[in-house]
Structure 1
Amino acid sequence: MAAANTSFFFTTGAEIHWRQAGGFNRDPASIHTLLTGLTGLVIVEILYIVTAAVTTPYIYNVVGYVIRTWAFVLAAAFKPLVNKVVHKVASRWAPGRKVFERLKIYEPVPLGDYDEEEDKAGLHAAPLLDQPAPLPAEKTRSKIWLKRALVLIPTGLIFFLRLIRPYDESYWFLSQTIVASPFAGVDSKGKLAGMADHAEIDGKSTALTATPKFDWMPEGEWPGFRDWQDDKYKHYNSSYDPLHISNLDQDILEPLREVLANGDVKIKHILVFKMESTRQDVFPFKNGSYFHERIKQSYGDKTIPKKVQKRLANLTRTAERLTGAQSGLNPENPVKPYGGISMTNSYTGGTFTLKSIEATTCGLSPLVVDFNHEYEHHIYQPCMPHVLDVLSASTNNSKSKDFVDWPWRPRFMQTITDTYDHQDRLTPALGFHDENILTVEVIDKQHTNDTTWKAEKYNFWGYADKEMGSYLKDAILEAEHKHERLFVTHLTGITHHPWDLPPHVDYHELIGSLTNSFGGKNDGLNRYLNTVGFNDRWYARVLEILEETGIADETLFVLTGDHGISLLEDGNVTPYDNPLVTNFHVPLVFAHPKLPVIELNSSVTSVQILPTILDLLKESGSLDEHSARAIRDLLPMYEGQSIIRPIVEKKDDKSYWQFTVMNTGGSMVAMRSADKQYRLIVPLVPEVEWRFTDIAKDPQEDKPIKSFALEPLISAIATRHGKEAVEWTHDAARAAQWWVRDNWRRYEFDPSA
């Protein structure tokens, strides 16, 4: 366990939370992921074994001497008391002379009369040749007592400090041996460390109320709509959520208002791409960005070679086109914008990939628990496939020439495995039917005897994302032929650590040789950027497929990251328990060739993607009357605000709070508000610190304020940031306390079970 802790830290920059070990899955993908750190583990294990073999005898002797020294002191101190007790017991139990004589004969030799160190020094040596024993030397006795003092004073001080140590859960955690660590868990009452219990906000203890009734709901049982089928269930009600702020009463943003109203924008199909480990600042990669400046520093003369400059200029051309943001690296050859809305200040709903997918697909906050357990509990909002299936129950006229009458077909497509952490169970729970799910396992089964299939896997995850091209094109052609509307969710994979490229694809050197710029992570950064560029070409191929199939002008293309990665800042290859803002800041684009190019800097989160898609469908006239009425009823139920309307940052002195469940889910929650640039990391377990940052003053979070308790944190915030930041932190902590507990209620999850 100690070797694993050390090697894991050097590989990822994070510590293992051993209480999560029981939740780690034994599926093949999980084991392969674990084995990527095997080399480091073996090296550290060998070092520990060799070190232990050499040092154990000395450590054993030192500890033994400490124990013997304290035994001598305690024996001498308690000698009078022991003798008194012995005599008292003897007088009560053995008043007779015979027993008294026996006790007298066998009276214990006082421990204080013998000392092993004195014996070694010859002070208790037996007389030789009937000669009297030499008298003890004063210098020898002084040396013995000096050695005792060197043991008694520091160990006694430690014992004293332990007695007066304040009660704090973080101290208890630090005092645990590593073997005890797996048994430390989340407070089953949902009380955050160092906080009073806030059971209510604005008089409300939960956002669950009686389920509303909709007359458009079809008869029968519909997955995702369980709460409508039995009156015993309650459902999330945004209007009863004291933390919710709606913006549906706001008008459409001015640049969008006319094109949506006049019918220029048609949305027949929807593609939602979850881009693995994609930071906001690589979509696109820009001249003068923090990333670009750090690459400059990796070269001795702080100048990027022309060959590398050319490669960087062409690294994310498709991202430039989709976002409408020029990289500035190739000004003489600008990219023509595709059209759409690009959000520059978007955070993910969860830095654990599967939780991020759920946040996007279902428009809700993931479950605050380690790893993927959402599928085992009540996913408290209908996900997009659920909604589309219910709409298709009534809107199901494939013979119509107008696509608004066609039924929907939700598909989930990826070229990597879905066995990691039970994704194969989560995907159906989100509403995707088995026959509409594509994974590497499905691809392998289909091509078992197909000699024409030449694609090669890039590593244990599966095939490169571009191998999905033929499947995507076939799905579009089939939908067009059957008069169906596609909703495709695609998870990319190649930008996941360890950033392997397919066989026969060369890596290009993009990073200089100065290791101090990146803490020795130059190779990892170079590999990461190469996979980013590789997948940018995949997105270009997707746009080509849309053109080839004739649906480009009728397809909404949504792209967002599942989480970022702080490899550049601290060398971490995973967002596991990593609070740095770059793990949260992800791209978010709603691309459509008929939309104007808009760049917005409002604070948004991936929880807002689903309500925005529903709002776009409704406002663009891309639904029939029945479906439009259903969407008008469903849209206000979701937590997130619609991005095509002005974001309401604050209302009635109440901030628009945005939460992110951090990888792996049960240790920390990150939060911010739309009206401020503060961030707060809220601990759920004692070994994690509270953490406050001000992105406006410290965009790279180089100087966070951290504390294991809330009050010391607030004191430090008051000194460095003032009263406004203190009040914000108080409100944020109180909101987090309420939100975590209600999150468990919504999922019908009992943390004590």
Structure 2
Amino acid sequence: MQLNYLAPLQAISRTKTQFALFFVAFFVAKLLHLGSHFKSLPIILYLLYTPTFLLPDVLLLLGSKVLVYRLNGGQSSTTRKVIGGLVAILTTACSAAQISFFVETGGEIQWMAASRVLGGTGGMGLLLSGLPSVIAAVVVLYIIALVISPRFYDAVDYTQLRIIWAFRQSFLILVKRQRITEEYEVLISIQDDQSESSINEEEYEEKSTPTKRVSSTVTALATAVATIVVSTTVIALQIARPTRPPFAHMSGSIPITIIEAAWFQPINSEFCLPHPVEVVLFPFDRFSKFFDLPQTLDWRPNAPICGKQNGPRPPPWIEFLGQEGRNDRHGPGPGPGRHDHAGPDGHGPPPPPPHGSPHGGAFGGDDCEPLKLSNLDANVLDPLTSQLKVKKPKIKHVLLITMESTRKDMFPLTKGGHVYDTILSSYGSTNATEEVDAKLRGFTDTAAFLTGTPSGFEAIGRPAEKSWKSAFKDGMGAININGAVSQAAYTLKSLLSSHCGVEPLAVDFAEETKGTIYQHCLAHIFKKMSSKVENEKSDHKKGSLEKNGAEEHLSLPWKSRMIQAVTDQYDSQDVLDKQMGFDRVIAESTISDSTSKHYPPENGFINYFGYAETETFEYLRDLFVDAGKNQERLFVSHLTSTPHHPFKTPKDWEEVAYMSQQHWRPADPFDDYMNTIQFQDQWISQIFQMLHEVGALDETLVVMTGDHGLAFTSLDKSQSAVNNGHVANFNIPILFVHPDLPRIQLNASITPTSILPTVLDLLLETDSLPAPAEKVARDILPSYQGHSLIRDLDFRVATADGASAKAFFQPFHFSAINPGGSLLAISDASTPYRLVLPLCSTIPLRFTDLSTDPHEWEPITAWTMDELRAQIKVKHGARASEWAILAEEMGRWWVWDQRERWGYWGEARETSRGGAEVGGDRGGMRKHHWWETKK
């Protein structure tokens, strides 16, 4: 007997084999997909919703049999055979690639980014490196299909016929008709021919004998009832299943995910990947040309000395293939930018990497950073210099207030501004000015006083009840920044910017908790200072600790506290707080604890996160009172929350309808937002009053900033901060308040990364630190990306000889857009241009020129960079189009550069994360019970 070596290949032409191969391919890939998400959910939820995860596979199986792998009289048409073969082969190839990718990297393929992977040399290298395992997977899948194909098609066919027969039989029983008639037998025969059964006529005749074909009535009813119960259960589970990640993602099946990827192709699919395909280099040539780099300037980042860091090098994707998990915290060893040693006292970032490694230098800073600018050698602002000669502010404590969703144009609201005009226009009458002004009397009065910005709505004639204001003499109060841009339209990412002076990751939600904060946060620095001072005390060097006898507070230890009225269980904020160095956190759980000192709270929850800020008043007061008793210095971070959606205030707080209400028009959410802003303004006044009463106001530096803005349709023709790059989501207030600081209006396009350097510089310039702590501050200050806002913004860049020269460019700003991995907003201080760059999303590119369109009512959008550039050139000129090209290239560089800084190689989008990468608290509230599935 001669063996037919081509038999395995010839088998693929048979419909039964094609059907079996198609099933094996997509089902094995699905099992692998579900296996990679095994830790994504509590085991009970995983098992409960497994039927819904497999529902698409059942529909695929039945649908493909009816539409593609269809047999008429045991035969299939040539067209169906060709289509069926192609579908089976394609599905098998994709399944094998999925298996191979998992073996090589421990992750799943992002099909939306597949074209980008294949288009780069790094991606091709990955493909070739996994080719043996791909071939092996194809062979295994094909062998399994050959083994099951003789019976699998018939088994599926028989099951279908059995269920159809059960329902027909049950129907006849229920309508009390004869169970089997000659007419019904004819119908059965016709229907069986149309169902494309693979059973030939002789076999069917044999199986249709009365003893084998006719089942009992009980069996028919049981089969029908069981089918209905199972179907109803699966449908109910599908309806009840949460819509948040990773539930929908876990239902994905090949080839449906392939079709989705082809149909919903992201513009920049490379950002869907956990690793860059190739090293994305800083665009030195285009950057230098656009900003006219002087030929005489030997700019250090572009010099040979920085070539190892800024030049071509092996792609991180290739270098770290084989890690278990796409995140350095879950791999077997450190990833790039990651180090095995903890920071000082086990907190904060690690020590600097070895010489020559990326982002080296003290505490992660590096003169080779292309966008590094410094103004530490610039002069202190003239008004502050004059004040320091007369009286230096006493800074014992630092209070950092982060104001939720607070727009710059609402801090304060000013008469004649865009917001005011919008409110006035809602009345539809030119005689409404007096009514509107009356409603706005006293609106954001605290913000107007602190910033030194007249609002036009001052509470004229009111008694001087705010005694804290008496501590501020004429011309004294705050350094107010006009032009600040949020680093992220997502609160937790923004906290990192203001507290640690770092830029966030362009990935969904607070994945920064899985990377390494690459700079010391303020709490780390204060703890380090306390440690150094304590060491000096133990060495009996008291003389070096105090400037004079009146400054005994300088040597007191620092304590860091976070306080808020809402939960810290959302998106792992409790983990983030600890990583930022906070020893103790007062949050919603503290206020709700029946054993707490100030329990019970005066009011209940005002939103789905917790209480109004006023519930923290006594706790905040205790911090400052106890600090005085215990001889401590305080760093307190306070996060407000009332201006967050759904914009609710306590029931006993009287709301005002600022916008005109029309009976036929629904209430404007901006009206509710305004009420929360006014509530927050009054709360801030209560904080200052408390500081004044406990005697801490004149020795506390109060730093205030918004985490991000918030767009509204009535104001901005745009709504929400989610996947929305509108400028209103990014313009925020920043100010530094102290009764002995001169009032300064500083027009500067900066980000909250400059808060930390400014606080340290203020502590130094006001002699608010003892000698050991001074050394810590001076050593660490140059390493930060932000700038000192108490100095002239005369920026300098590093030169190759280790010196510095006048900068030829201004700061660039990269802002992550909520939730983080879909869009990136790019701007720079030297131009009015903004580019919103789509990352892993199907959202178009967006360009605006704020000099001609300050409210971004007429943005230019396009699906390709060439198309966008052409439109910009026509409307805004050649230089604007050149800037857009440069910004796009810099955005690509920045995204991957940040990944390297953080040592994070996880998925950008929450829906793509599996296994250990997805936690039940990612982008949602941490649950205490397995049944709490909804956000």
* TM-score, length of structure 2 as denominator length: 0.57
Deviates more, 1:295-304 or 1:644-653: 644-653
Q: Secondary structure at the match of 2:690?
A: helix
Q: CA deviation at 1:721?
A: 1.2
- Distance across 2 between alignment mates of 1:725 and 1:328: 37
Find the residue that maps to 2:744 and give its secondary structure: strand
Q: Distance in 2 between matches of 1:731 and 1:675?
A: 14
Whether contact under 8 Å (1:261, 1:620) holds in the other structure is no
Mark the CA change 1:190 to 1:469 in structure 2 (over 3 Å): closer, same or farther: same
* Equivalent position of 1:537 in the other structure: 682
CA-CA distance at 1:317 after TM superposition:
0.6
Report the residue type matching 1:292 in the other structure. Y
Distance change >3 Å, CA 513–CA 443, structure 1 → 2:
closer
Partner of 1:657: 812
Q: Does 1:427 align with 2:556?
A: no
The corresponding residue for 2:607 is 459
- 234-243 or 550-559, which deviates more: 234-243
Question: CA contact under 8 A between 1:412 and 1:438: conserved in structure 2?
Answer: yes
Does the alignment pair 1:468 with 2:468?
no
User: Superposed, which structure 2 residues align to 1:202-241 within 5 Å?
Assistant: 202=302, 206=309, 221-228=345-352, 235=360, 236-241=364-369
Aligned-partner SS, 2:622 = helix
Distance 1:450 1:630, change over 3 A: closer
Cα displacement string for residues 135-185 of structure 1 (whole angstroms, at most 9, x for unaligned residues): xxxxxxxxxxxxxxxxxxxxxxxxxxxxxxxxxxxx99795379x99x996
Aligned to 2:561: 411
| Counterpart for residue 694 of structure 1 | 849
Match of 2:378 in 1: 250
Q: Which amino acid letter does the alignment assign opposite residue 511 of structure 2?
A: H
Q: Is the 8 A contact 2:353 2:359 kept in 1?
A: no
Name the SS for the 1:728 alignment partner: helix
Mapping for residues 378-397 of structure 1, pairs under 5 Å: 378-396=516-534
1:320-373 CA-to-partner distances (Å, cap 9, x unmatched) read: 111010101348569977611111211111111100011100001011211111
- Seq. identity, %: 33
Partner of 2:19: none
Matches for 1:468-487 after TM superposition, within 5 Å = 468-487=616-635
Change (3 A) 1:521 1:421: farther
Find the counterpart in structure 1 of residue 773 from structure 2: 627
- Mapped contact 1:677–1:696 kept (Cα < 8 A): yes
The superposition leaves residues 266-290 of structure 1 with CA deviations (integer Å, 9 ceiling, x where unpaired) of 2111111110011111111110110
Judge conservation of contact 2:554–2:769 (CA < 8 Å) in 1.
yes
One of 272, 276, 282 as aligned partner of 1:186: 272
Contact kept, 8 Å, 1:206 with 1:742, in 2: the verdict is no
Partners of 2:308 and 2:420 lie apart in 1 by: 48
Deviation track 1:578-615 (CA, whole Å, cap 9, x = no partner) reads 11100000111111111111112211111111111111
Summarize the alignment of residues 305-320 of structure 1 with structure 2, pairs less than 5 Å apart. 306-320=434-448
Specify which of 752, 763, 767 is matched with residue 606 of structure 1: 752
Query: How far, CA to CA, are the matches of 2:597 and 2:783 in structure 1?
Result: 49
Contact 1:324 1:597 in 2 (8 A): yes
Aligned residue for 2:591?
443
- Report how many aligned residue pairs link the two structures: 577
- Which position in structure 2 is the counterpart of 1:373? 511
Partner in structure 1 of residue 449 of structure 2: 321
User: Is 1:198 the counterpart of 2:281 in the alignment?
Assistant: yes
**What is the CA–CA distance in structure 1 between the aligned matches of 2:595 and 2:718, rounded to whole Å?**
37
Structure 2 residue identity aligned to 1:227: P
- Retained in 2: the 8 A contact 1:521–1:571? no
RMSD: 3.7
Structure 1 residues 653-704: Cα deviation after superposition (integer angstroms, max 9, x where no partner): 3332111111111111112111111111122125122211111110001111
Task: Quote how far apart the aligned CAs of 1:260 are.
Answer: 3.1
Q: Helix, strand or coil: the match of 1:313? A: coil
Offset of 1:241 from its aligned partner?
A: 0.5
Residue number among 238, 263, 272 corresponding to 1:176 in the alignment: 263
* CA pair 648-176 structure 1, distance change in 2 beyond 3 A: farther
The amino acid of 1:578's aligned partner reads N
Q: Could you give the per-residue CA deviations for residues 607-665 of structure 1, whole angstroms, max 9, x where no partner exists?
A: 11111111111111111111112111111100011111122478553332111111111
- For 2:763, the aligned partner's letter is L
Distance 1:586 1:172, change over 3 A: farther
Give yes or no for contact 1:187–1:684 (8 Å, CA) kept in 2: no
The whole-number CA distance in structure 2 between the counterparts of 1:640 and 1:207 is 21
Is 1:301 aligned to residue 429 of structure 2? yes
Distance 1:350 1:205 in 2: 30
Output the amino acid matched with 2:454: Q
Query: 1:550 Cα deviation (Å)?
Result: 0.9
Deviation sequence 1:192-240 (CA, Å, 0-9, x none) = 9xxx9536643657589xxxxxxxx999743114225999996432412
Q: Is 1:267 equivalent to 2:392 in the alignment?
A: no
Is the 8 Å Cα contact of residues 566 and 580 (structure 1) preserved in structure 2? yes
Q: Tell me the equivalent position of 1:643.
A: 789
Work out which of the residue numbers 893, 897, 905 in structure 2 matches 1:742: 897
Q: Is the 8 A contact 1:207 1:238 kept in 2?
A: no
CA distance in 1, matches of 2:481, 2:745: 6
Paired amino acid for 1:417:
T
Question: For the structure 1 residues 472 and 708, does the alpha-carbon distance in structure 2 shift closer, same or farther, using more than 3 Å as the test?
Answer: same
Q: 1:245 to 1:547 in 2, by over 3 A?
A: same
Aligned pairs (5 A) from 1:718-733: 718-733=873-888
Task: Assess if the C-alpha contact under 8 Å between 2:593 and 2:599 holds in 1.
Answer: no
User: Structure 1: any 5+ residue segments left out of the alignment?
Assistant: 1-21, 28-62, 65-73, 79-170, 209-216
* 1:612–1:642 CA contact under 8 A, matched in 2: yes
Whole-Å separation in 1 of the counterparts to 2:817 and 2:307: 26
AA of the residue aligned to 2:866 = E
Residue identity matched to 2:429: D
Paired letter, 1:692: F
Structure 1: how far apart are the matches of 2:848 and 2:786? 24
| Number of the residue aligned with 1:359 | 497
Letter in 2 for 1:552: L
Q: CA deviation at 1:479?
A: 0.8
Q: How many angstroms apart in 2 are the aligned matches of 1:652 and 1:394?
A: 35
The answer to whether residue 636 in structure 2 is matched with residue 512 in structure 1 is no
Letter in 2 for 1:742: D
Distance 1:610 1:668, change over 3 A: same
Q: CA–CA distance in 2 between the matches of 1:521 and 1:515?
A: 8
User: Partners of 1:521 and 1:198 in 2: how far apart?
Assistant: 50
Per the alignment, residue 674 of structure 1 pairs with 829
Is residue 869 of structure 2 the alignment partner of residue 714 of structure 1?
Answer: yes
How far apart are residue 405 of structure 1 and its match? 1.0
Partner AA of 1:724 in structure 2: R
Q: CA-to-partner distance for each residue in 1:49-92, whole Å, 9 max, x for gaps?
A: xxxxxxxxxxxxxx99xxxxxxxxx99xx9xxxxxxxxxxxxxx
* 345-354 or 712-721: bigger deviation: 712-721
- Cα contact 2:500–2:580 (8 A) shared by 1: yes
Offset, 1:406: 1.1
The correspondence for 2:704, drawn from 551, 559, 562, is: 559
CA 1:677–1:562 in 2, change beyond 3 Å: closer, same or farther?
same
CA contact (8 A) 1:190 1:740 kept: no
The answer to whether the 8 Å contact 1:191/1:737 transfers is no
Query: TM-score normalised to the size of structure 1?
Result: 0.70
Aligned residue identity for 2:633: R
